[in-house]
Amino acid sequence: MAEEATRAVPVVAPRPRRGRRDTSLLLGLVVLAAIVVLSAAASFVTKHDPVAQSLGDRLLPPMWASGGLARYPLGTDGFGRDALSRLLFGARISIAVGLGAVVLSGVMGTVLGLVAGYKGGWFEGVIMRLSDAQQALPPVLLAIIIVAVFGANIANLTVVLAVSSWVIYARVIFARTVVLRQREFVEAAYALGATTAHILFRHLLPNLWGQIMVISALQAGRMMLLEAGLSFLGLGVPAPAPAWGSMLADARTFVFITPWPAAIPGLAIVLTVWSINLIGEGLRQRYEPRG
Amino acid sequence: MRQFVARRLLQAPLSLLLVSVVVFVILNLTGDPVTVYLGTDATPERIAELRAQLGLDQSLPVQYVRFLRGVVRGEFGRSLTYDRPALGVVINHLGPTVRLAAVGLVLALVLGLTLGTAAAVRRGTWIDHLVGGFSVVGLSIPSFWLGIMLIVVFAVRLHWLPTSGMESARHYLLPAATLATFLAPQFTLVVRASLLDVIHEMYVTTARAKGLIEARILSRHVFQNALPPIIAFVGLQLGTLLGGAVVTETVFAWPGLGRLTIDAVSQRDVPVVEAAVIVLALGIVISNFAADLANALVDPRIRYE
């Protein structure tokens, strides 16, 4: 009964806007979808094993450069491994870690921000001081220490990235919740006897999805860069698994001989993060029409 | 104003205290730096001796209190790899990082303010779209990769600039450019957004109606009011700047705090890691405080918050 009467109605509806900004959203989605499909179909796109070495074919340039072979469209690395298949299989790791970290930090930050904003009191104090403290600790540094202590694997990396980035969700959701809490529909729900959990997740949360999506898209790009950075420092997914950052770290030794093995995974990172950032910008323009 | 400063001054040590707890707990969860340091063939007597020397034979809370007492006095214990007081080691490496970060920050600020203002003033034109497009691409470039590519082009191919070292101003160019590329897009977007927030205010329209010239409207009416969010953002980015410096230092073999910390982490040189993290956190807390203070001075509204 109360259930029906207090059904959620989003009060902050996205402003439907067509035009230029939607093209960046669309472009981002198309590029990202292409990357996801290619990496999911990796075993059909390339017949090379990403970890199989062929020492006779070391450091080949891509097929369009002089000396390149059609067998290795994007060339090979210092162990003669096929760059294309390493890129495609590596994309799975980068995307899984990035996505996992965004979902995990989003859930953590959103729940903490919601409760802190709605309940206030000592819980708000604890969460806000914790987020202050975390701002005094650069995410890269925190990640380096945690990975060094707990070891590097996909699960640990995801948790580390999530732990170092929940603060932005908590802060934004907290600030919005404090404002929304005073609206009539929240008071009405409370007066009708809705439980706190019901108000938080059925009334407040639906009005925060826009913000959550915008932060998530912008954070996904940062997460992938951070993951690549950790792999580059040797703190990512352990070898010989193909992660983009560690491909770059391996290639670094050879930049005096050939730039390709370093250039190509870097370009893949830029393209992927760029497509995600385009989606983020497009969403931001949609949900925050100012500016 | 005094109340504002007092509240912020009380919050700062609390942040540092929490950072110290987090770092201490994480680093001590591994148990023992001693076995890593002495190797597997060390005698039990030698291990026990070093453990007692480092205070590792006591319970965790006791160790934390000892650690905290040391932190307050600036004593973090001796570095296991340098065999010197850890704080001294950290301070020796602080200079290069601060110089690099400062050059990168200034470069990023100049770029961000110029491009952001140009985009805001020419909103909706090709200039705005171009700046926006470049910023989104800039945000997507991993700084370590950019550093390597800059080395390939300017050092390996063209032989114009050195790949590493910090003897002359020329050595600063590539690493500082790498750091700036990583920060400038964010500054550009924030400057643009903050200016646009203000540019439609009534008092700007009034200034225009009074017939003021555009340059004066921008400097006196728009900029002054758009400044607080920009200052706050720059203050908050210092952590990111120092984090970026960690990676950049690795690429350019820069003898700074970032590389020291990474090496210390992999060698389990716990006193150096602790000292480095606390010194970095102190730097960030102080600069955030300075940003808040600057804001309160620029904008009277913030003082009465």
- CA dist., res. B48 & res. B223, Å (int): 63
- Per-residue pLDDT band at A7 (split at 50, 70, 90): low
Q: How confident is the model at residue A8 (pLDDT cuts 50, 70, 90)?
A: low
Interface test with B, best of A27, A128, A130, A141 (most B CBs within 10 A): A141
Nearest to A49 by CA among A258, A255, A242: A242
For chain B positions 188-217, those within 8 Å of chain A (CB to CB) are: 192-193, 196-197
Check CB contact of A146 with chain B, cutoff 8 Å.
yes
3-state secondary structure of B48: helix
Residues B110, B133: Cα–Cα separation, whole Å = 18
Contacting residues for B293 by C-beta, under 8 A, at least 6 apart: B5, B8
Domain count, chain A: 1
Domain assignment of residue A81, yes or no: no
Band the pLDDT of B3: cuts 50, 70, 90: confident
Which two tokens mark A93?
Answer: 């790791």
Q: What is the mean pLDDT of chain B?
A: 81
Q: Name chain A contacts of B17, Cβ cutoff 8 Å.
A: 133
For A87, residues 6+ apart whose C-beta sits below 8 A from its C-beta are: A74, A242, A244, A247, A264, A265, A268
The reply to whether A9 falls in a domain is no
- Per-residue pLDDT reduced to its tens digit, A47-72: 777 777 777 777 777 777 777 676 77
d(CA B101, CA B56): 36
Yes or no: say if A42 and A85 are a contact pair by the CB < 8 Å rule. Answer: yes
Under 8 Å CB pairs connecting chains A and B tally to 152
DSSP state of A61: P
Residue B39 CB: number of other CB atoms within 10 A?
7
| Most confident listed range (A248-262, B124-138, B283-297) | B124-138
Which amino acid makes up residue B122? R
CATH of the domain at A206: 1.10.3720.10
- B224 pLDDT higher than 80: no
Which of A3-7, A158-162, B115-119, B204-208 has the lowest average pLDDT?
A: A3-7
| Amino acid code (one letter) for A204 | L
pLDDT for position A181:
85
Of the candidate ranges A2-6, B57-61, B195-199, the one whose mean pLDDT is the lowest: A2-6
Compare CB distances from A281 to B29, B136, B236 and report the shortest one's residue: B136
**Region for A67 from its dihedrals, namely left if φ exceeds 0, alpha if ψ lies in -120 to 50, beta otherwise:** left
Whole-model pTM? 0.82
Q: Is residue A273 part of a domain?
A: yes
State which amino acid sits at residue B263: D
Place of tokens 């390493």: A86
User: Is A259's Cβ below 8 Å from some Cβ in B?
Assistant: yes
Q: B260 at the A interface (CB within 8 A)?
A: no
Residue A75 lies in a domain: no
Least confident segment among A230-244, B80-94, B101-115, B130-144 = A230-244
Shortest distance, CA B270 to any CA of chain A (angstroms): 10
Domain that holds residue A204: 93-286
CB proximity list for B270: less than 8 A, separation 6 or greater: B27, B33, B80
Give the rounded distance of the alpha carbon of A111 from its chain centre: 19
